[in-house]
Structure 1
Amino acid sequence: MEFIWYMVLILISTKAAGHLSTLLGQPSVLGKLLAGIVLGPAVLGWIEQDQFIHYMAETGVILLMFIAGLETDLQTLKENWKSAFSVAVGGIALPFLGGIGVGEAFGLGFNQSLFLGVILSATSVSITVQVLKDLNRLQSREGTTILGAAVVDDVLVVILLAFMMSFLGEGAEPSSISLLIGKKLIFFIGIVGAGWFIVPRFMKWFSKMNVTEPVMSMALAVCFAFAYFADQMGMAAIIGSFAAGLAISQTAFKHTVETKVEPIAYGVFVPVFFVSIGLNVSFAGVAGQLGFVVVLTVIAGLTKLVGGAVGARFTGMSLNSSIAVGSGMVSRGEVALIIAAAGLQANLLESGYFTPVVISIILTTLIAPPLLKICFKKSTQENGHRLRS
């Protein structure tokens, strides 16, 4: 019954830490992430990253991105697709080169340096989504650009990872590249077709059933089905759940689903996800590699920020808005952690560098919330100045 005690600790600590964070002028998510570090092996060691935490956290991040899809204005997303693509490309190219440079500077083999570049190229906007919601900017041009860029980023990084694993990893199979690209095409054709033709009819049909909460249950079924399909096609599950949210947002059930899924997500599952990120931190044996951690974290943050900002600026965004978009791409989160673990298994990342890399990933995730708040504050002030002019 230890998992029940875990839930008590997580729910109390995340809400208390989130509230304290807002009192200090920071986004609440920063306090929740720090709560995970304090409760985990890095400090108190009261909670371990076991299978229960893993499944609850996976559900939490899937629901978080499902809500983001529900709240996203599809028309604004379509209007900003050029910016999203440009941001994604800029946010991959510069970190990839930066990762190679860090690897070479610290004496890693060329293959391992390449893989370090892949890790730094990843983006996870699950934390960013929470900050955007807190700042009421999820539906802004910057917010929709970040969300769109995250989808493109995921596709490009997964393909890049596949090339690395196929040609350089253990058990390499170059022929798997065409299969992987084929899966990506199947995924996008499948979700567009299902989102456009099947989901509205599916929801309407089940809404007429004389059972408890049919709309809510079927919305969650769509969410998890899309997430599972994405995972089977080699995509991040959160891209599938985001697409599910977009699909349901185009139906008459959007408001009903949104108001009922948020209490479930934020009351139970999302707090576990925030804590699970912090549980990955361990300071054992890091003292000798402190320089590597610092350099990697700085390069990871700067290259993603600058790369994303240049991409946004290239498509006509103002300087402050471009920097805000770039800051929204800084967090590596669970996506980079998954890639790092895959690299460790394929001997593309030395075991001695795994913990320092994980700490750098966590640090970018911790940097993102306060950085986003500062950048969006400047962007809001600029927009307000323009309106007054």
Structure 2
Amino acid sequence: MHEGIRVVLVLLTAAVLVVALARLLRLPSLLAYLAIGIAVGPHALGWLPESEQTSRLAEFGVVFLMFSIGLEFSLPRLIAMRWQVFGLGGAQVVVTMLATMGIAYFGDIPWQGGLALGAAFAMSSTAIVAKLLAEKLDLHSASGRRTMSVLLFQDIAVVPLLILVPALADTARLGATLGTALLQAALLLALVVVLGRPVLQRLFDVVARRKSSELFMLNVLWLIVGMSFLTEHFGLSMSLGAFLGGMLISETLYRHQVEADIRPFRDVLLGLFFVTIGAMLDLTVVWQRIEWVALVLAGLVLGKGLLILLVTRLSGADFSVAFRTAAQLAQAGEFGFVLLTLASASHLLTPEVSQPSLAGMLLSMLLAPILIERARHWSARLSKDEWMKRATALQEVAAQASGIGEHAIVCGYGRTGQSIARFLVREEIPFIALDTDAHRVQQAVQAGESVVFGDADRREVLVAAGLDRARVVIVTYADVPSAIKVLGIVRQRRPDLPVVVRAADDTYLDELKRAGADEVVPEVLEGSLMLAVQTLTRLGIPLERALADVQEVRTKRYRALQERFREAPAAEEKE
């Protein structure tokens, strides 16, 4: 018992320190967990001994991840994206597997091992890529949609691959084993969908009416563990059961609450899973076969990237979009580790093959954030179409701004930007708004509003919008990296121009101020202060006193952050 507590303490201490360092360096926490496993595993410091209990517990990280994937599995969404998901995604997985099998053949690896290795290499990192695309607002770009379609197909393909890889261990009975497993999976899927969905809907309705978060959480955990046990009992993987459980919830109104409730369990257990994956890495074997590590890394980044580039180009995308899609998918993925572990456990791959493969996969994921960021810049230089689109957009911005001066530049025309625009119109202050949502811009133009398509964090767009003649710039979206770019451009060209920036909260107030923002408005803080005013007045506190109390709190808060809040003149407040 004492030894178990020591192991837990070591893991938690390492996790706190290394994950904090990864966050500081803006790296995915997944890489931190892998690094912890490498350091404390049996092949290094030896603090984490190999144990069946630890591996079994870590497997539940994958179970919870598959449950989350099932929650995202929407049949209408799949139908709407069917050509990109099954066409582009299917081609990527098949071509990558075939290419890997071909290379493995020349490396004297049996075809079964080559197929399993190809399945592992075909996966890309949903956790890393989706997070990076969301941060850069690229999820709905042309390359972002294609990337997410391929990732969605990979997530779907994992389900049959989890059945296929263990079946490869016995080639004499491969057809019978695979056929039986697929038949069991199909029957179980039909049974679960036909009978499970209405039963589960009624069960969650009953639980929700009890208004007990504890009971709701227990019900969710019961579903995940119960479905995993059911599929394992029938000789299938626990992950498949979790995926089916997520599918059952995905079409109900409880989906988002369930997803929020399981996130802490999923993240912690998935972290433990990646720790155990890192612990598998034997650096001695890796060093002895360093040339194989380099080959795997080159294959994942260059080879896989080139294959995806060709497949995406053949699907009709221009070179810029294909290039970015390839860069976003040119790495190993979470399920690649699952399949590699399964192949090693089924004796399809020897340690001399699995260890360099594991190391190359880890390195490819470490390089992914850098490669994706650089691809954003390189793709613009490589695409003539992109330059033509930019030139056209700049002409539209310049034409819209040509007849105005002493105006406001509103960066972003979402709800906040539209609200600010209404006040500017009321005060008869001319403005030009920039937004990258084509549909939103089209609607605004049809309504007669001064809105144009343009990326506000690009110098040429701001100059075309009349930056040299403007009175103020307002950044209305809570995207800190983009806001800092806007501030850098404005401060370099117009140091005297006031810039007001919206922020989600006060986390980045100092950083935005240092970048040159005259005013930073954290919406969480300001929203809480307005709630306080309303609450106090409802409790009978005079309005003037409530406003004074709130203003005192506001002043202290901003002063503590070395900020200042510009108050409107008292006379204007009375008006």
Letter in structure 2 aligned against 1:202: L
The answer to whether the 8 A contact 2:113-2:343 is kept is no
Give the aligned partner of residue 86 of structure 2: 85
Whole-Å separation in 1 of the counterparts to 2:300 and 2:39: 24
The answer to whether the 8 A contact 2:40-2:279 is kept is yes
Give the aligned partner of residue 341 of structure 1: 345
Counterpart pick for 1:115 among 107, 113, 116: 113
Please state how far the C-alpha of 1:33 moved relative to its aligned partner.
1.4
Helix, strand or coil: the match of 2:283?
A: coil
The answer to whether the 8 A contact 1:91-1:329 is kept is no
Relative to structure 1, is the Cα distance of residues 265 and 86 closer, same or farther in structure 2, using a 3 angstrom cutoff?
Answer: same
Give the aligned partner of residue 215 of structure 1: 216
Choose between structure 1 and 2 for higher RCO, CA contacts under 8 A separated by at least 6 residues.
1
* TM-score computed with the length of structure 2 as normaliser: 0.56
Relative to structure 1, is the Cα distance of residues 311 and 224 closer, same or farther in structure 2, using a 3 angstrom cutoff?
Answer: farther
Letter in structure 2 aligned against 1:118: A
Please list, as runs of the form range in 1=range in 2, the aligned pairs for 1:1-389 lying within 5 A after superposition. 1=1, 2-70=3-71, 75-106=76-107, 108=108, 112-122=110-120, 128-129=126-127, 132-133=130-131, 136=134, 141=145, 144-158=148-162, 160-161=164-165, 164-167=168-171, 172=173, 174-193=175-194, 196-209=197-210, 213-231=214-232, 236-266=237-267, 268-308=268-308, 310-311=310-311, 314-315=314-315, 318-320=321-323, 322-323=325-326, 326-327=329-330, 330=333, 332-342=336-346, 344=347, 348-349=348-349, 353-368=350-365, 370-371=367-368, 374-375=371-372, 378=375, 387=436, 388=453
Relative to structure 1, is the Cα distance of residues 373 and 60 closer, same or farther in structure 2, using a 3 angstrom cutoff?
Answer: farther
Helix, strand or coil: the match of 1:207?
A: helix
Please state how far the C-alpha of 1:321 moved relative to its aligned partner.
5.3
Whole-Å separation in 2 of the counterparts to 1:4 and 1:358: 29
- After superposition, the CA RMSD in angstroms is 3.7
Please state how far the C-alpha of 1:10 moved relative to its aligned partner.
1.8
Relative to structure 1, is the Cα distance of residues 297 and 205 closer, same or farther in structure 2, using a 3 angstrom cutoff?
Answer: same
Structure 2: give runs of 5+ residues left out of the alignment.
381-385, 394-435, 437-452, 455-575
- Radius of gyration: which is bigger? 2
Letter in structure 1 aligned against 2:274: F
Relative to structure 1, is the Cα distance of residues 252 and 164 closer, same or farther in structure 2, using a 3 angstrom cutoff?
Answer: closer
The answer to whether the 8 A contact 1:33-1:277 is kept is yes
Higher helix share: 1
Whole-Å separation in 1 of the counterparts to 2:212 and 2:160: 43
Whole-Å separation in 1 of the counterparts to 2:287 and 2:256: 50
Letter in structure 1 aligned against 2:291: G
Structure 1: give runs of 5+ residues left out of the alignment.
none
The answer to whether the 8 A contact 1:15-1:32 is kept is no
The answer to whether the 8 A contact 1:30-1:369 is kept is yes
Residues 331-360 of structure 1 show CA distances to partners (whole Å, capped at 9, x for unaligned) of 521222112221x1xxx44xxx32442341
Please state how far the C-alpha of 1:48 moved relative to its aligned partner.
2.0
**Identical aligned pairs, as a percentage?**
21
Relative to structure 1, is the Cα distance of residues 378 and 215 closer, same or farther in structure 2, using a 3 angstrom cutoff?
Answer: farther
Please state how far the C-alpha of 1:32 moved relative to its aligned partner.
2.0
Structure 1 stretch 5-14 or stretch 225-234: which is displaced more?
A: 225-234
The answer to whether the 8 A contact 2:66-2:242 is kept is yes
Give the aligned partner of residue 426 of structure 2: none
Letter in structure 2 aligned against 1:98: A
Residues 143-195 of structure 1 show CA distances to partners (whole Å, capped at 9, x for unaligned) of 65244312442245356546744435xxx464334323312322432443356
Please state how far the C-alpha of 1:282 moved relative to its aligned partner.
0.9
Whole-Å separation in 2 of the counterparts to 1:38 and 1:241: 31
Residues 352-389 of structure 1 show CA distances to partners (whole Å, capped at 9, x for unaligned) of x3244234134314422541564278569989979345
The answer to whether the 8 A contact 1:307-1:326 is kept is no
Whole-Å separation in 2 of the counterparts to 1:25 and 1:214: 37
Whole-Å separation in 1 of the counterparts to 2:168 and 2:97: 13
The answer to whether the 8 A contact 1:84-1:152 is kept is no
Relative to structure 1, is the Cα distance of residues 90 and 42 closer, same or farther in structure 2, using a 3 angstrom cutoff?
Answer: farther
The answer to whether the 8 A contact 2:33-2:275 is kept is yes
Helix, strand or coil: the match of 1:175?
A: helix
Whole-Å separation in 2 of the counterparts to 1:34 and 1:307: 29
Please state how far the C-alpha of 1:64 moved relative to its aligned partner.
3.0
Whole-Å separation in 2 of the counterparts to 1:90 and 1:25: 32
Letter in structure 2 aligned against 1:176: T
